[in-house]
Chain A
Amino acid sequence: MLEVKEIHTFYGLSHILFGVSLNVDSGQVVCLLGRNGAGKTTTLKSVLGMAPPRQGQIFFKGEEVTGKEPYIMVRKGVGYVPDDRRIFADLTVGENLEIAARKTEERKDWDKNAVYELFPRLREMDSRKGGFLSGGEQKMLAIGRALMGNPEFLLLDEPTEGLAPVLVRVLRGTIERLKGFGLTVLLAEQNVKFTLRLSDYGYIIEKGQIAYKGTVKELTENEEVRKTCGIQ
């Protein structure tokens, strides 16, 4: 579904990604593991078109989409959940969802009600301003907002960051359910335990380059990976 080929991405003069390549097949949850500043967020932003790569190519559903603007990528079926949530603070929870609503003939499963079914907590807060939610609630809202666009492919950036352990468990359940709905997910994370349990395939990124890749089994058995990721 997604194919990233040798992309080089810059922020101004600083070179962030050095020839990153990765593949995500339809229906898979693929993870991108790495430390802070390794290039996870930049990789997701490159795919979405927020940080277009200067070299290399990106294909989505077989079509080249390198450098396309984010709104076009979303219309093609990509959903984006940023690591810093970026909830529209002045808008209510309901309004945050409403403005992101987007349906097509083939993709129309998600609406406000379906999001509230997934996150019953948000329903209670429908008329509360987004800025007044807790971190965990904002995270749910950010996921819900991305789902409102009825994506086929979800870019999830550090969903567990700053969440209490109990919420991390809930989140894992949610992502498993989304996978059950047929959604393809590219998940950028630092939380190794959480991530490997969910994923079909994984990439490990270090200093803007893919250091290792493999199935979850291969990654957990690889001595180098165990060391870099701190798996016991």
Chain B
Amino acid sequence: MELSQSISFAALGGHFFVGLSRAMILFVVTSGLSLVLGVLRVPNIAHGSLYMIGAFAAYTISRLFGGGSTAFWLALVISPFVVAAVSLVAERLLFQHLYQREHLMLLLFTFALMLILGDLVKLVWGAGEYRSIVPPQLLKGSASIFGSSIPRYNLFLIIIGPLVAVGLWLFTNRTKMGKIARAAAVDREMVGAVGINVSWVFAFAFVLGCFLAGLGGALVAPTISVSLGMDHDIIIEAFLIVTIGGLGNMWGAMVGSLIFGLTQSFGVLFWPQFAIVFPYTAVVIVLLWRPMGMLKSVW
């Protein structure tokens, strides 16, 4: 194995942590997508657009407050709420009238919405121009772990991912709204028949899912160049992840994100020219082995 001998332990560790942090961003985004899929049964292709809006909003907010450390934290906190507000409008005006439609109609509708939101972003922010956010002082530079040098910002992402997972778990298992959402995922009509106005439960679940897309966008902003087209990139990955994880299953989104993020990262290490093939190969293998996804799907 000539190939593996040339790879040091430090490089392996480095790629592991980078893959892990990438997986956590993917998880934040896909857990939102999965929530919407599970509770509302809507395959929301525009989810990626909301992620993009989150990143653009974070860029603008951070600029607005001078681009320093405080500006970063404000951007991180505010932009998911901006996205949530956009999604609330979309839900009340459009989505709520379409839940009963068949999935093909919903795919077409959300695809159209993705195109419209993409153009709106272009209208508001313009194309071209290089946009990036600087991470705050606290998260600049690298830390050394097991001999590998890891950007502090990536470590921050690795902490955020599990926090979001725990938060979502607490919401779905410990709050009344979360329990209702779980019930509605399986039998919407019966939830209405115990006196609950399902319409608002759906609105809440949808907005929460989109909030997570916005949070993912804000989190990813310092690691990439914020640009048009990031909606397309993420939505393909996000759908693959929820499919291999099990539709509507939050832990499935976590498992899928880990598979996707880590294979991507190790692919770069082992075979850089074909790095992009690795996660997709992993998806094919998972689906051949478990066509319904790794964990139980609510569909």
Q: Which A residues form the contact surface with B (CB < 8 A)?
A: 48, 50, 69-71, 74-75, 80, 82, 86, 88-91, 95-96, 98-100, 102, 145-146, 148-149
CB contact between B194 and one of A50, A90, A149 (< 8 Å): that residue:
A149
A69–B186 CA distance with the chains assembled, in angstroms: 19
A48–B179 CA distance with the chains assembled, in angstroms: 23
A99→B180 contact, CB < 8 A? yes
Give every chain B residue within 8 A of A74 (Cβ-Cβ).
192-195
B186→A149 contact, CB < 8 A? no
Give every chain A residue within 8 A of B183 (Cβ-Cβ).
88, 90-91, 95-96, 99
A149→B195 contact, CB < 8 A? yes
A70–B190 CA distance with the chains assembled, in angstroms: 9
A145–B180 CA distance with the chains assembled, in angstroms: 13
A71-B198, A99-B176 known; A50 and B182 CB under 8 Å? no
Beyond A86-B190, A98-B179, A149-B195, 9 additional contacts (C-beta under 8 Å) are A70-B189, A70-B192, A70-B193, A71-B197, A74-B195, A75-B195, A88-B191, A99-B191, A149-B194
Give every chain B residue within 8 A of A75 (Cβ-Cβ).
195
CB contact between A98 and one of B176, B192, B195, B298 (< 8 Å): that residue:
B176
Q: Which residue of B lies closest to A85 (CB)?
A: B190
A89→B195 contact, CB < 8 A? no
Most A-side CB within 10 Å, residue of B189, B190, B196: B190
Q: Which B residues form the contact surface with A (CB < 8 A)?
A: 176, 179-180, 182-183, 185-187, 189-198, 298
Q: Which residue of A lies closest to B296 (CB)?
A: A90
A71-B197, A98-B176, A99-B196 known; A88 and B189 CB under 8 Å? no
A70-B189, A86-B187 known; A145 and B182 CB under 8 Å? no
A95-B179, A98-B179, A99-B176 known; A89 and B186 CB under 8 Å? yes
Give every chain B residue within 8 A of A88 (Cβ-Cβ).
182-183, 186-187, 190-191
A80–B180 CA distance with the chains assembled, in angstroms: 17
CB contact between A145 and one of B176, B194, B198 (< 8 Å): that residue:
B194
B205 to chain A: closest CB distance in Å? 14
B229 to chain A: closest CB distance in Å? 38
Give every chain B residue within 8 A of A90 (Cβ-Cβ).
182-183, 185-186, 298
Give every chain A residue within 8 A of B176 (Cβ-Cβ).
98-99
Give every chain A residue within 8 A of B186 (Cβ-Cβ).
88-90
A149–B194 CA distance with the chains assembled, in angstroms: 7
A82→B179 contact, CB < 8 A? no
A73 to chain B: closest CB distance in Å? 8
Give every chain A residue within 8 A of B197 (Cβ-Cβ).
71
A86-B187, A90-B186 known; A100 and B179 CB under 8 Å? no
CB contact between A102 and one of B190, B193, B195, B198 (< 8 Å): that residue:
B195
A15 to chain B: closest CB distance in Å? 22
B187→A91 contact, CB < 8 A? no
B194→A69 contact, CB < 8 A? no
B118 to chain A: closest CB distance in Å? 36
A70-B189, A86-B187, A88-B190 known; A100 and B195 CB under 8 Å? yes
Give every chain A residue within 8 A of B189 (Cβ-Cβ).
50, 70
CB contact between A91 and one of B182, B195, B196, B198 (< 8 Å): that residue:
B182
Give every chain A residue within 8 A of B298 (Cβ-Cβ).
90
Give every chain B residue within 8 A of A95 (Cβ-Cβ).
179, 183
A146–B195 CA distance with the chains assembled, in angstroms: 9
27 residue pairs from A and B, CB less than 8 Å apart: A48-B193, A50-B189, A50-B192, A50-B193, A69-B192, A70-B193, A74-B194, A74-B195, A80-B193, A86-B190, A88-B186, A88-B191, A90-B182, A90-B186, A91-B179, A95-B183, A98-B179, A99-B176, A99-B179, A99-B196, A100-B194, A102-B194, A102-B195, A145-B194, A146-B194, A148-B194, A149-B195
A99–B191 CA distance with the chains assembled, in angstroms: 9
A48–B193 CA distance with the chains assembled, in angstroms: 8
Q: Which residue of A lies closest to B189 (CB)?
A: A50
Give every chain A residue within 8 A of B196 (Cβ-Cβ).
71, 99
A39 to chain B: closest CB distance in Å? 19
Give every chain B residue within 8 A of A50 (Cβ-Cβ).
189, 192-193
Give every chain A residue within 8 A of B195 (Cβ-Cβ).
71, 74-75, 100, 102, 149
